[in-house]
A = this chain, B = another copy of it.
Amino acid sequence: MTTQAVLLAQGNELTTGLTVDTNSNWLAGRLWELGLEVRRVITAPDRRDDLVEILGQAATLAPVVISTGGLGPTRDDLTAEAVAQAFGWPLQLDEEALAQVVARFQAFQRPIVDANRKQALLPQGARVLENRWGTAPGFSVDPPGGGRMYFLPGVPREMKPMFDAHVGPDVLARNRIAAPVTVTLRVLGVPESVLEEKMRGLDLPGLEIGFRTMLPENHVKLRFEHDVPAEARAEVVAQARARIGWRAFGVDSGDLAQVVGQALAERGETLALAESCTAGRLAGWVASVPGASRYLLEGAVVYSNEAKVRTCGVRPEDLDAHGAVSEEVARQLARGIRQRAGATWGLGITGIAGPGGGTAEKPVGTVHVALAGPQGDVSHRRYHFPGDRERVQLLAAAGALAQLWREVGGGAGGARGGRGRDLTQKYMFRPMLPWKAPG
């Protein structure tokens, strides 16, 4: 029987649409990974009567209740009061909580005011949950009925480490849950419906599969019950990866820019970019990885034809003959920027991001990507991406990076080349399973 949980989120900023409640999403994902089932998420404004009613109801719905928000020093922060009222416990100054608040303020060298002392007023019987990431302590209480309620601050950078430090382990121990193991496959360029199709029949007792779309990636989450042997897990992960092919670029990894960057760094190779329609998006993405200066030598945003000619040596007669959005120009961009920067790899991107500029022959979403490599070879691919300008630019940048990934990591040798070696060791990859490359 799966243990159930209820999430509460408090704050007027949530019920007026000023802030998206990302806390509940994060907690729901964590609880799924821990093998719990979220039965309800209840969001309410900072109003005491409603909070009291919700707390009373939540205690009857599930043995695990996790609340975020309402622990701050202002008079809108009503959580401790509402808990006290809901279950008939007096509020009292908790010395341990007060000591923690005082210590935090001393560490920040900030004066403490009475409003902050209020943060140490907890319902009688509450256990303090130390907040080493901010000033508001959390706490837990055991309401009638046998469950436990956890109260965490609403600031995500405090809430998340507090959950992992105090709440997750306590929930598992108290409810005698053996935590499952979750493995995330990160995939580029395969739609969720195709991934679902590919995972069909990948059965194992104790395996649950979830899908998540986070443009430009899709994630396949494989959740194994604790008693699935490690070898069986590794076998399933390897099978899932093989069914998807090289586009499954990572297992519990960073994003594509991190994975490609790591491959380049390991190989001692470098990269230069010439971007027209993506206009620096790809460079920005590649450079979002710490240490990217080791391999990203140069990028050029060659929006105008003059810039294409000047910076990458594109031939004006080819611009005239084929147009700026053409295979020929993409190839010259890739070759030109590679030579200019003296890089191992050169990527050239030219396309029509829209909303204007499309024609019958070259509709909005048409993108040419060329990759110039160390052997003097230049590969090319033509895409037609659906969606608005934002989406076309994003998918074009991702498509270009995927072309490079195929060469430096996930290439023709499948997962055996580049990064694949690590994965072979870690997941005992067996590249013999039948699969076909999507797209």
Contact = CB atoms under 8 A, between A and B. Distances in A.
Interface in A229-281: 273, 275, 278-281
B42 A15 contact: no
Contacts of A273: 280, 301
Contacts of A221: 18
Given A280-B275, A280-B284, A301-B283, A39 B50 contact: yes
A304 B355 CA distance: 34
Nearest to A43: B41
A354 interface: yes
B41 A42 contact: yes
Interface string A12-43: 00111111111011111111100001111111
Given A280-B284, A287-B303, A301-B298, A16 B41 contact: no
Interface in A365-410: 389-390, 393
B298 A304 contact: yes
Interface residues of A, number: 73
Interface of chain A: mostly helix, strand, loop or mixed: mixed
Interface of A: 14-22, 24-32, 37-45, 50, 54, 210-213, 221, 273, 275, 278-284, 286-288, 290-293, 296-304, 306-307, 310-311, 340-342, 353-356, 389-390, 393
Given A14-B41, A15-B37, 17 more contacts: A16-B29, A17-B29, A18-B221, A19-B212, A21-B21, A40-B44, A41-B41, A278-B284, A279-B284, A279-B296, A280-B284, A288-B393, A293-B304, A298-B303, A298-B304, A299-B300, A306-B342
